[in-house]
Structure 1
Amino acid sequence: MTDSKPRTLISVQERLRDQVAHALRAALISGELRPGAVYSAPALAADFGVSATPVREAMLDLAREGLVEAVRNKGFRVTEVTERDLDDFTEIRALIEVPTVGRVTRSATREQLEALRPVALEIVAAAREHDLIGYLEADRQFHLTLLALAGNARLVEVVGDLRKRSRLYGLTRLDERGDLVSSAEEHLELLDIMLTGDAPAAESCMTRHLGHVRSLWAEGRELPPEEKSALRLRTR
């Protein structure tokens, strides 16, 4: 009996930490937390109505994911990712995921592939319901579970890390325009192609999907004033 209270307390603290981390990810996706800006744990804690400890712990979790970086005696800076970074991340993902999808198409059983259909449907449902966190989580689960069928755990880790570092920017604006639904439906298209056993077609579909995701990033990112001015000059 004496051991139950500490465990309960730790459990409550962990749940609060997870809740704060969830809220912070949502703020990053929506753009409320701006790339390059520094935020202190006490200030964020005041916004959330909690103590600074779970916020600090949650921010450390995000730092391990590459979403923020610690700034000594100030707080945490939201990581800035350039267009070049996004191009590089997409290129690496394509080099890994496209041939792996071909391999899995040739080797996976129908049962293994069909097990992914509920997750693919989840992605579409989340896009239609404007559930951005749900969309990202289901999308992550689909891609990493699919890659895991190749039997290489290290490969899955690498792609998982790339996905964290290249989180979808401007997701809220894309959702408002309805562009997420078409991207979400590509997961069902990929799955149906893989079930036919046509590996080249599956690789082609994955290539197109990754390219589509990259174009969504570009469309969803809000250009800074200086880039907007440069764009206006170029189009005159």
Structure 2
Amino acid sequence: MPSLRLPPAAPSLADAVAQAVRDGIAAGELVPEQTYSVYQLADLLGISRSPVREGMLRLAEAGLIEIRRNRGFRVLPPRAHDVEEIIEIRLALEPPAARKAALHGTDEQHAAIRAALDTMAIAAARGDDTSFWPADRTLHDLLLRASGNARAAAVVAQLRSTTALLGPPTTASGRTLTEIHAEHEPVVAAVLVRDGAAAEAAMRAHVAATGDLLVANLRP
């Protein structure tokens, strides 16, 4: 029987299930050759079947499992191509959004963006992953919303959640929180002086660099 454990801090029980299964795949507890049932997984985690089913749907959308009708699910090894597709979409959305945020964002929106970057800096100095990543997500979300496109913000938030399920963060490759914060600094600096072209270029460089490292983590 595989050994799985729910993470202590997750936004919802379904998120916790998805993370537990992802961790089980990474640890080799769940293997591609075997079919697992929702009932089995619910018993292993000590929870009801409803959040397990919801978590499985999220993993299926991410491409980490294949749901087999009336049988359960089968693990699919993470593919670098999945991350490449996600980064391609983010590159289509986030750099032009940074330009618009610089040119059209309000002073209040710019102040919130600056505050999110400051929170990242404090967390990076402390080596505090728990505070750093939410601030990182907030910064990207604020930039997208300051561009006037809330739908793009929702799409990117979902894509980032999917990426987190597909593999380890870029810090697994030796990239530090301080380095990640430093990549965001030129984006925010350009936004605050309303230099749209520089904001777009800096965001493109950041997202592309992140994508290269995420893909490298999944290459054999």
Q: Same fold (TM over 0.5)?
A: yes
Distance, in Å, in 2 between the alignment partners of 1:215 and 1:150 is 26
**What corresponds to 1:128 in structure 2?**
127
Higher deviation after alignment, 146-155 or 119-128: 119-128
Cα deviation code 1:119-162 (max 9, x no counterpart): 3344452792243xx65544333222311122223333333343
Pick aligned residue for 1:76 from 73, 77, 81: 73
TM-score normalized by the length of structure 2: 0.71
TM-score normalized by the length of structure 1: 0.67
What pairs with 1:1-236 in structure 2 (closer than 5 Å)?
A: 18-22=12-16, 24-25=18-19, 28=22, 31-32=26-27, 38-63=35-60, 68-78=65-75, 81-123=78-120, 125=123, 128-131=127-130, 136-167=133-164, 169-171=166-168, 174-175=171-172, 177-221=174-218, 223=220
State how many pairs are aligned.
206
Contact 2:65 2:75 in 1 (8 A): yes
Structure 1: unaligned runs, 5 residues or longer: 1-15, 224-236
Distance, in Å, in 2 between the alignment partners of 1:61 and 1:169 is 11
Cα deviation code 1:173-203 (max 9, x no counterpart): 7347353441244234421221122211111
Distance, in Å, in 1 between the alignment partners of 2:134 and 2:144 is 16
Report the residue type matching 1:22 in the other structure.
A
Q: CA deviation at 1:97?
A: 1.5
Higher deviation after alignment, 58-67 or 71-80: 58-67
Contact 1:119 1:138 in 2 (8 A): yes
Structure 2: unaligned runs, 5 residues or longer: 1-9
Q: Which has the larger radius of gyration?
A: 1
Report the residue type matching 2:151 in the other structure.
R
Report the residue type matching 1:140 in the other structure.
R
Contact 2:64 2:166 in 1 (8 A): no
Distance, in Å, in 2 between the alignment partners of 1:156 and 1:211 is 18
Distance, in Å, in 1 between the alignment partners of 2:158 and 2:87 is 12
**What corresponds to 2:7 in structure 1?**
none
User: What CA RMSD, in Å, does the superposition of the two structures yield over aligned residues?
Assistant: 3.6
Identity %: 31
